[in-house]
Amino acid sequence: MTKEKVLIIGASGQIGVELTLALRHIYGNSNVIATDIRETPHPLLTESGPYKQLDALNGADITACIKNEGITQVHLLAALLSATGEKMPMKAWDINMTSLLQLLDIAVQQKLSKVYWPSSIAVFGNTTPVDNTPQATVIEPKTVYGISKYAGELWCQYYYNRYGLDVRSLRYPGLISWKTPPGGGTTDYAVDIFHQAIQTGTYTSFLSENTFLPMMYMDDAIRGTIELMEAPASCLSTRMAYNIGALSFSPKQLAEAIAKKMPNFSINYAPDFRQQIADSWPNSIDDSLARVDWKWQPKFDLDAMTEDMLHNIKNLAPVAH
Ligand code: AKB
């Protein structure tokens, strides 16, 4: 195996912390450099390996870091998500697109072996088939976040076709995790609900009770990301992002799963602007291409995920801010 040295940009976010820890486990702590624009990084990043403050929009600093550290592989995770993006569309476009375009160019110049960049179910819009949404289908995203993800997928494909850059991507569904909070997404309710269940025994959902969305437990998402990155290039039949599925549930069904473990838990509903975003996304995803090409298989069902979330959040020490 070639010795990889990995740079993670945007490592302090919901995916970044867990992906950094998993990659450090594979490649060795000192071979995975976590970076983020935040001055105060997540303690799990600094406790387990090197951390640098780095702005995803600063191409000169990224190039210097790649050269100085002998980086072979970059994971670009910095982004503004769907709900925050609607509050500041131009900023979301700039952060999501400029960081990617700049990195694709740097990756070609510096001859990186691989690049990872996440896409999302947000690429799909109201005109897409909602159930078992196919890999290749009508794609007319409604949010600026979705537009940036779809444009980004096309750019990744362009760089692969034109320059042979090995850039890989997944269309993540809503991700549920307990180590690091999500920030600014439409699927965030599915994380908030667990914290509120434990703290107060009740939750007010910003999505209506029967809003079905594709979702996934973080353990599956991290394993899927690593499996995609380690798959032989010859197995990958698309250079757009892969559909990747695991769960599909509504707020009502998630509340029922929590109530199986916490019988006094109650939920009510006060949909806000995020409802319209959720209504433009699929209910469930057809990920058969990922299952065939690189043998994707999720492990956590709704009950297993709920049990693991409740167990871990109950054991969380209060975090000092
Ligand atoms: C969001 O809700 O914006 C994200 C996503 C589905 O990409 N979690």
* 145 shares a domain with 116: yes
Confidence check: pLDDT of 207 > 60: yes
Residue whose Cα lies nearest atom 4 of ligand 1: it is: 185
* 157 shares a domain with 108: yes
Token pair, residue 306, equals: 């709920």
Residue 223: inside a domain, yes or no? Answer: no
Closest atom of ligand 1 to CA, residue 83: 3
* 148 shares a domain with 204: no
Number of domains in the chain: 2
Determine the residue type at 43. Answer: P
Q: Give the residue, 316 or 242, on which the prediction is more confident.
A: 242
Residue whose Cα lies nearest atom 6 of ligand 1: it is: 174
**Which tens digit of pLDDT belongs to each residue from 44-54?**
999 999 999 99
Indicate which residues carry an active-site annotation. Answer: 145
Ligand 1 pocket by Cβ (under 6 Å): 81-82, 120-122, 145, 172, 174, 185-187
Alpha-carbon span 52 to 73, nearest angstrom: 16
* 139 shares a domain with 89: yes
Domain endpoint, select from 145, 172, 199: 172
* 265 shares a domain with 139: no
The reported pLDDT for the residue numbered 3 is 87
Q: Is the pTM of this model over 0.85?
A: yes
The full DSSP string for 231-294 is S-GGG---SSPEE---EEE-HHHHHHHHHHH-TT-EEEE---THHHHHHTS-SSB--HHHHHHS
Q: Cα of 283 to ligand 1 centre, how many Å?
A: 13
When pLDDT is averaged across residues 57-77 and rounded to a whole number, the result is: 98
Confidence check: pLDDT of 1 > 60: no
* 294 shares a domain with 183: yes
Alpha-carbon span 141 to 17, nearest angstrom: 28
Range of the domain at 33: 6-172
Confidence check: pLDDT of 320 > 50: no
Q: Which of 21, 7, 159 is nearest to 74 (CA)?
A: 7
Q: Which of 249, 290, 304 is nearest to 119 (CA)?
A: 290
Confidence check: pLDDT of 217 > 80: yes
* 261 shares a domain with 148: no
Q: Cα of 70 to ligand 1 centre, how many Å?
A: 32
* 32 shares a domain with 96: yes
Mutate to test the pocket of ligand 1, among 82, 150, 243 (most ligand atoms within 8 A of CB): 82
The reported pLDDT for the residue numbered 74 is 98
Q: What CATH number corresponds to the domain at position 143?
A: 3.40.50.720
Residue 161: inside a domain, yes or no? Answer: yes
Burial class (CB in 10 A: 0-12, 13-18, 19+), 276: middle
Contacts of 243 (CB under 8 A, 6+ apart): 133, 134, 135, 171, 285, 286, 287, 289, 290
Calculated CA dihedral for residues 245, 246, 250, 256, nearest 10 degrees: 180
* 191 shares a domain with 118: no
- pLDDT bin (cut points 50, 70, 90) of residue 316 is confident
* 166 shares a domain with 34: yes
